[in-house]
Amino acid sequence: MSEGNAKKQLLHLVFGGELKSLDSTEFRNLDELDIVGIYPDYKSAELAWKARAQATVDNAHMRYFIAHLHRLLEPDTK
């Protein structure tokens, strides 16, 4: 595939950790954050997020998130 035909890379970060309480997004210990990875599109990130979230389903305080890195790098893009 040539560069002209390639889809635009929209980077997404998947990360998570144990929250201090169920009604916040403040992590209990930042040193123990789980950085799952950086993915080239939302669909790939969603698959990684789902796998990690399901693997930690027994701990109600564990939460995983998808951050849209491309929005930080280029705020004018969607």
Tokens of 23: 């009604």
Rounded-to-integer distance, Cα 34 and Cα 48, Å: 12
Task: Please give the model's pTM, rounded to 2 decimal places.
Answer: 0.84
Tokens of 56: 């930690």
CB 52 within 8 A of CB 36: yes
The terminus-to-terminus CA distance of the chain in angstroms comes to 24
Domains and CATH numbers, the chain: 12-73 (3.30.70.2400)
Tokens of 69: 């890195």
Longest Cα pair distance anywhere in the chain, in angstroms? 48
Q: What tens-digit pLDDT sequence spans the chain (78 residues)?
A: 445 556 788 999 999 999 999 999 999 999 999 999 999 999 999 999 999 999 999 999 999 999 999 988 888 766
